[in-house]
Amino acid sequence: MKVLRNGRHSDMLAVWREGGTVYFIDQRKLPGALEIFEARNYRDIAFAIAHMVVRGAPAIGCAAAYGMALAMTQHDNVEEASRAIKATRPTAHDLFYAVNWMTEMAPRLGPVEAAAKYASDIIDKCRLIGQNGGKLISDGDIILTHCNAGALATVDYGTALAPIRIAHSEGKKIFVYVDETRPWLQGSRLTAWELTNESIPHAIIADNAAGHFIRKDVDCVIVGADRIAANGDFANKIGTYEKAVVARANDVPFYVAAPVSTFDFTITSGDDIRIEERSEEEITTMGGMRIAGPGEQARNPVFDVTPHELVSGFITEYGVFGPDGIKSLHGRL
């Protein structure tokens, strides 16, 4: 992805490895500061995932792969490392997929080589998602997206942002409405930062303003996903479900962009997806200041589940599929 530093654009990955260290763009610090978090063992990787240094299902998967490689090369207890990494966040399927993939592939390829292949494959898949999804965007389109499903969430290109990047690079005049995405503000902090660095026209909107703009002038909605069930029900950042409902009510196409590693064909529907719930302080405070009254309690589910009936198409590295067509992807995992 393009990053503006000291007045110049340069290419940068969200996660990468050099020697025995894994480096992350620290997403907690954006957009105010571009700082790098260094992970030197699998425990550092687990911390980075659990504490939102890195987030987004594909990027979490890459972090997990690198964490397993560190555990293997540093002769740690690999089963213990696997449990620790898997325990960080329960919803994103890529996390579990990557750990299991490393367990299978590292003995064949070598730990470092296997992790590098996993990360490079994710980047390539996201590039293909961009190419496939870019065909759905027309010149002059206005697009709405929720949370951050860009390069920060996937190492490079993005899922939901990949088609937008490709459409922009092809010279299509597009505009993006960016949901702020409470409580971590991944939209206003991260998606807007990425779009600014790419010079893609956009505006940040309050989450509750999405319906107003979908009804008024949005041509399509594109979101990412953290886990997709066999029937096409999917979990994504809290607030996604209501965007899908409003899009359907206004005949606006609603697309989900995700690599096949996000599909979990071991579960039949969204009812089987475990929804992470984080600290209520993320709701009752903002920027370190309490915004709720003394003693007020809060609920903080991180994700919600959108039924497959509301999805116009799944944008994958293999093409765009309707909910009935994703069964063909099972054999490509």
Q: How does pLDDT run along the chain (333 residues), one tens digit per residue? A: 989 877 788 899 999 999 999 999 999 999 999 999 999 999 999 999 999 999 999 999 999 999 999 999 999 999 999 999 999 999 999 999 999 999 999 999 999 999 999 999 999 999 999 999 999 999 999 999 999 999 999 999 999 999 999 999 999 999 999 999 999 999 999 999 999 999 999 999 999 999 999 999 999 999 999 999 999 999 999 999 999 999 999 999 999 999 999 999 999 999 999 999 999 999 999 888 999 999 999 999 999 999 999 999 999 999 999 999 999 998 776
Cβ atoms 211, 181 nearer than 8 A: no
Q: Which class for 21: exposed (0-12), middle (13-18), buried (19 or more C-beta within 10 A)?
A: middle
Structural domains of the chain, ranges and CATH numbers in brackets:
2-124 (1.20.120.420), 135-332 (3.40.50.10470)
Rg (CA), the chain: 19
Residue whose C-alpha is closest to residue 63's, from 96, 91, 106: 96
Which pLDDT value is given to residue 10?
A: 86
Which pLDDT value is given to residue 333?
A: 64
Which pLDDT value is given to residue 230?
A: 97
What type of residue is 114?
Answer: A
Which pLDDT value is given to residue 64?
A: 98
Which pLDDT value is given to residue 332?
A: 76
Cβ atoms 139, 93 nearer than 8 A: no
Helix and strand counts by DSSP (H, E) for the chain: 12, 18
What amino acid positions are annotated as catalytic residues?
226
Which pLDDT value is given to residue 38?
A: 98
Query: How is residue 90 annotated by DSSP?
Result: S
Place of tokens 């409470």: 182
DSSP 126-182: HHHHHHHHHTTPPTT-EEEE-S--SHHHHSSS-SSHHHHHHHHHTT---EEEEE--T
Which pLDDT value is given to residue 7?
A: 76
Cβ atoms 113, 152 nearer than 8 A: no
Which pLDDT value is given to residue 330?
A: 87
Query: How is residue 41 annotated by DSSP?
Result: S
